[in-house]
């Protein structure tokens, strides 16, 4: 059985929106679960985020909602809520990312649904968690990067605050939510009892900084902003070349000595300021004052060839276009295509775990694209589906009489 069949037969109701929750639902779908994306009749908030757009469709929504089918339902309508509650009786996993308390107002909170379906794994994703002082505060990726300490570690010394350019807080939360959900699903299969998982962007972003926080606990110091450098190793950073930059990691003793030889700086390895990794970390500015002018004599390509031949870990600072053109990317089987009914061909990185990439991916759904077929599969008969359509509780293609 391949990885992308591993969750075959698992039913997921995905009420989440924007990025963090949808990533969790997407990964479960990538691994074979039947994921139903449940959103308002006009679509969830993530569909409005852009640029960029592809044929009028948000690339954000397209990129985090593959491997799902779409049900558009008005949860303000009692008939819509009743239909979803019937579905929840048969579901294995529910993912939601409303503010705490919203699902309770709809009668779709964990206690209500798990009372009728004890094996349901219920994953709530929010900015600051389901309880505590930040429970009712809104939060988005950039704000979370700031308040969780990540922005304080990024950028150049004495430079302005910086953030990771991708929504790393959202992505980390989505990935961690997937891990937690799979763990709870395993337990539910053993015991017949699901769990209510409380995943917050704040906690996930702090957890993502495990090493940095551990250093802070050990020393009491705040991390310095070091640009491309690592606080625990030197040289382990980018150096300017004649035509660009090169990333070099040569902090292990043998590689440090070899780097000095390759740069024609044999005496440097005997300099007390740079005698070992700890000394080099403490004298990083002086180290750059010596190494930068040498690297700037020749091109990036020259140094890549020379250092690689000497077993020095190094790499170019690649653009996305260069990443896609690289031999590693081409051989990795990571790029996938889906065919979307509006956006057309959509490309993105997929779940690249060996043979896991051999199965076709489903494109992100349009709002309500699969409403009727999903409800029918959950045991709601054609007459009731037509009634839901007639009263405006759901959106989607009409069901035949």
The catalytic site residues sit at 170
Q: Which residue has the tokens 């790393």?
A: 168
Count CA within 13 A, CB hemisphere, residue 79. 15
What stretches of 55-195 adopt beta strand conformation (E)?
A: 57-58, 69-73, 93-96, 121-126
Instruction: Please tell me the distance from the alpha carbon of residue 127 to that of residue 105, in angstroms, as a whole number.
Output: 19
Starting at the earlier edge strand, list the strands of the sheet with 11-14. Answer: 196-200, 121-126, 93-96, 11-14, 34-39, 69-73, 394-395
Instruction: Please tell me the distance from the alpha carbon of residue 24 to that of residue 177, in angstroms, as a whole number.
Output: 6
Which H or E element spans position 82? helix 78-88
> Are 157 and 225 a contacting pair, CB within 8 Å?
yes
CA geometry: angle 210, 248, 297, nearest 5 deg: 150
List beta partners, residue 73: 394
Instruction: Please tell me the distance from the alpha carbon of residue 90 to that of residue 153, in angstroms, as a whole number.
Output: 45
CB contact burial 348-365 (16+ within 10 A = b; e otherwise): bebbeeeebbeeebbbbb
> Are 37 and 70 a contacting pair, CB within 8 Å?
yes
> Are 288 and 282 a contacting pair, CB within 8 Å?
no
> Are 241 and 193 a contacting pair, CB within 8 Å?
no
Instruction: Please tell me the distance from the alpha carbon of residue 75 to that of residue 80, in angstroms, as a whole number.
Output: 6
List beta partners, residue 395: 72
Instruction: Please tell me the distance from the alpha carbon of residue 228 to that of residue 37, in angstroms, as a whole number.
Output: 39
Phi, psi of 226 (to 5 degrees): -120, 15
Which is it for strands 121-126 and 93-96: parallel, antiparallel or unpaired? parallel
């Amino acid at each position: 059985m391949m990885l992308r069949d591993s969750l075959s037969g698992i039913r997921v109701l995905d009420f989440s929106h924007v990025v963090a929750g949808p990533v969790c639902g997407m990964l479960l779908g990538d691994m074979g679960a039947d994921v139903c994306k449940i959103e308002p009749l006009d679509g969830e908030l993530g569909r409005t985020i852009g640029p960029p757009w592809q044929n009028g469709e948000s690339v954000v929504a397209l990129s985090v909602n593959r491997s799902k089918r779409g049900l558009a339902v008005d949860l303000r309508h009692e008939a819509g809520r009743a239909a979803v509650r019937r579905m929840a009786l048969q579901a294995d996993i529910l993912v939601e990312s409303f503010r705490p308390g919203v699902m309770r107002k709809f009668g779709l909170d964990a206690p209500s649904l798990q009372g009728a379906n004890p094996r349901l794994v219920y994953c709530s994703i929010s900015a600051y968690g389901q309880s505590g002082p930040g429970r009712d505060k809104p939060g988005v990726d950039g704000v979370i990067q700031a308040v969780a300490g990540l922005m304080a570690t990024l950028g150049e010394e004495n430079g302005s605050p910086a953030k990771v350019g991708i929504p790393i807080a959202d992505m980390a939360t989505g990935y961690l939510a997937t891990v937690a959900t799979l763990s709870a699903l395993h337990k539910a299969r053993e015991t017949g009892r699901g769990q209510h998982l409380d995943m917050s962007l704040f906690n996930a972003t702090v957890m993502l900084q495990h090493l940095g926080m551990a250093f802070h606990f050990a020393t009491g110091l705040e991390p310095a902003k070091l640009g491309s450098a690592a606080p625990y190793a030197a040289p382990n950073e980018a150096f300017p070349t004649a035509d660009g930059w090169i990333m070099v990691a040569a902090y292990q003793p043998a590689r440090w000595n070899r780097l000095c030889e390759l740069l024609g700086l044999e005496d440097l390895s005997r300099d007390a300021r740079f005698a070992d990794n700890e000394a080099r970390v403490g004298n990083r500015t002086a180290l750059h004052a010596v190494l930068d002018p040498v690297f700037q004599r020749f091109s990036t390509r020259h140094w890549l060839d020379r250092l690689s031949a000497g077993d020095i870990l190094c790499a170019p600072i690649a653009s996305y276009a260069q990443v896609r053109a690289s031999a590693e990317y081409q051989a990795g089987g990571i790029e996938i295509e889906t065919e979307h009914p509006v956006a057309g061909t959509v490309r993105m990185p997929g779940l690249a775990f060996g043979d896991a990439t051999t199965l076709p991916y489903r494109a992100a759904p349009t709002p309500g694209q699969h409403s009727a077929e999903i409800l029918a599969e959950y045991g709601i008969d054609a007459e009731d589906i037509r009634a839901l359509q007639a009263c405006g509780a759901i959106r989607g293609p009409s069901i035949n009489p």
